[in-house]
Amino acid sequence: MKLRYIFIQAFILFNSFLFAQNQADTKMLIAEQRLLTTGPRVAFMEGTQVFYAPNGLVMKGILAKNTPLWTTGPNVVFKSGTRIVLNKAGKVIKGTLSNNTSLWTKGPNVIFLAGGEVGFARNGKVSFGILAQNTSLWTSGTGPNALFMAGTRVDFDSEGKVSTGVLAKKKSFRMLNGKTKTFQIGTTVRINTNGRIK
């Protein structure tokens, strides 16, 4: 019986510790506040809950103003009133663009749409985004270039090639079975690392 009591007390103490840790890692802002990231302090909106990394840097919150932030490449301006997510080093993982913005993928830079969410991989390349215009892009594996549709989301693999996107022009791809198939405008294609349609 005594052993059971000790076990219960230890369990309660451990959960209290976890609760305290979680409370220390988040904060609800009662007024607009400028908080620490790896660059200059960033203004977060009143009423937003911000999340902190163990090193004390902000990892997530809603921006109070259009804000330039570090993405491993050049600074990119993110939109006020939208959620920003940063890694422990203070680099942007994902956020919403305030303007049409030219960013690095495979080959020439690509223009992504203002007001669209964009994500970044560890190597600094874009992992996903909304195209501002019809854009010809490399596809995963040894697949051909294809024209992808403005206003739609494209996802990129680790090399900066498209793994998922919506076609703006009909295009033929090889299927998993080795046969070729033509896909029409407006079709979402998912391309594997060998350049074939999943």
Distance CA 113, CA 148 (A): 13
Between the CA of residue 4 and those of 12, 18, 49, 125, what are the distances in Å? Answer: 12, 21, 39, 54
Could you state, in order of their start, the residue ranges of all structural domains in the chain?
27-190
The whole-angstrom distance between residue 96's C-alpha and the CA centroid of its chain comes to 9
Give the tens place of pLDDT for each residue, 49-96.
999 888 888 889 999 999 998 876 667 999 999 999 988 877 899 999
Asked if pLDDT for residue 47 goes beyond 70, the answer is: yes
Asked if pLDDT for residue 21 goes beyond 70, the answer is: no
Give the tens place of pLDDT for each residue, 91-117.
899 999 999 999 988 777 899 999 999
Distance CA 128, CA 155 (A): 4
**Residue-level pLDDT at 151:** 98
Q: What's the whole-number average pLDDT of the chain?
A: 83
Q: What is the end-to-end Cα distance of the chain in Å, rounded?
A: 59
Asked if pLDDT for residue 42 goes beyond 80, the answer is: yes
Asked if pLDDT for residue 23 goes beyond 50, the answer is: no
Alpha helices for the chain (secondary structure H):
2-25
pLDDT category at 2 given cuts 50, 70, 90 is low
Asked whether the beta carbons of 133 and 97 are under 8 A apart, the reply is: no
pLDDT category at 190 given cuts 50, 70, 90 is very high
Asked if pLDDT for residue 5 goes beyond 80, the answer is: no
Q: For the chain, what percent of residues have pLDDT higher than 90? A: 46
Asked if pLDDT for residue 38 goes beyond 80, the answer is: no
Asked if pLDDT for residue 120 goes beyond 60, the answer is: yes
